[in-house]
Amino acid sequence: MAITVHLDTDIGDDIDDAFCLALLLTSPELEVKSITTVLNDTALRADMCRDLCKAAGVSPKIEGGAKSVITRRPVEFAMKRQPYHSALNRTDNKTNVPAALELLTEARRTADVLLTVGPLTNLALSLVADPDVSRFPRYIAMAGEVATAYHAEWNIRVDTEAAAVVCGAGMPIDFIPWRIGIDTKLSQQEQDELDNASTPVARVLNAFREQFRTVDKRQEMFDPMTVVALLHDDWFTWQRGHMLVETRAEHTYGQTVFRKDNNGPHRVAVAVDTRKAKQFMLDRLSGKPQ
């Protein structure tokens, strides 16, 4: 039986969210049961998810979640950012935060796995509404940074208060930090390889990539590494401890501090076999038999 997954994503910003969902949809071990989107025009982001799901021939529940953030520090840099790519087909679905939180609540009760690859606003709201984490899916988050000096990672920085709620909630969390994405950046050859992929999901992904390329050149694979980590834990080197989020600071607000502790609830990926991880992802996206 397939492993059921809920994805919470800010797809439409950096291109790696689209890679993440496409990889989920092309992984036969996994079944995407539900998706929530976060930050700004979440209805548009939800439509982008529908494009990819339709190409995969599946129709999970999808809801547009929180448009704004919990933190009261200025985050105009995130709130004013225009999407880097758009949906191929727009629907009449509107942002519906209560419905998104219901989806998350249901996923917390029934899904096998929760992946968050955007700011943590939706999950924080869900945890504030119901702090009971005695039953929680296996949870992997692309968030934080533990190797680069004073780097406040985007998903944390955009809603630091939400990240603090999530990190302090008590359930086990596996973190894919920023550095893993940098280490798994696609080479030009790897991008060319993907350009030639012709599966239905790859075609939608490539349409997004083409839009993205007109505004940004980055090819760091932050978000899809959550899926790779789910399926190939042993390709990553993990450290166990406590991920702390700095919420009081003046100059270091939004930075993560990792305290090693063999009994801590969190694991953070400090290294990855980049060759295996990238090849696995590219083969899946290209529809190559494995």
Q: What residues make contact with another protein under the rule CB under 8 A?
A: 145-151, 244, 246-253, 255, 257-258
The single-letter code of the amino acid at 141 is A
Residue among 80 and 251 whose Cβ is closer to another protein: 251
Tokens describing residue 249 = 């600071």
CB of 150 to another protein, least distance (A): 5
Residue among 160 and 226 whose Cβ is closer to another protein: 160
12: left (phi over 0), alpha (psi -120 to 50) or beta: left
Residue among 33 and 151 whose Cβ is closer to another protein: 151
- Residue 256, CA distances (Å) to 12, 150, 177 in order: 25, 9, 10
CB of 59 to another protein, least distance (A): 43
Q: Rounded distance, CA 243 to CA 22, Å?
A: 28
Residue among 237 and 252 whose Cβ is closer to another protein: 252
**Spatial CB neighbours of 25, under 8 Å, sequence gap ≥ 6:** 32, 52, 53, 55, 56, 58, 201
CB of 186 to another protein, least distance (A): 25
CB of 246 to another protein, least distance (A): 5
Residue 27, SS3 per DSSP:
coil
Residue among 266 and 278 whose Cβ is closer to another protein: 266
Q: Rounded distance, CA 39 to CA 52, Å?
A: 19
Under 8 Å between Cβ of 175 and 269: yes
Closest CA to 142 of 36, 269, 272, 255: 269
Strand partners, 243: 258
CA 186 to chain centre: 18
CB of 145 to another protein, least distance (A): 7
Residue among 105 and 237 whose Cβ is closer to another protein: 237
Residue among 111 and 162 whose Cβ is closer to another protein: 162
HSE-up (13 A, CA, CB side) for residue 241: 15
Residue appearing with tokens 């919990």: 70
Q: Rounded distance, CA 158 to CA 50, Å?
A: 25
CB of 201 to another protein, least distance (A): 36
E strand map for 46-137: 61-64, 113-116
Residue among 40 and 160 whose Cβ is closer to another protein: 160
CB of 264 to another protein, least distance (A): 14
CB of 256 to another protein, least distance (A): 9
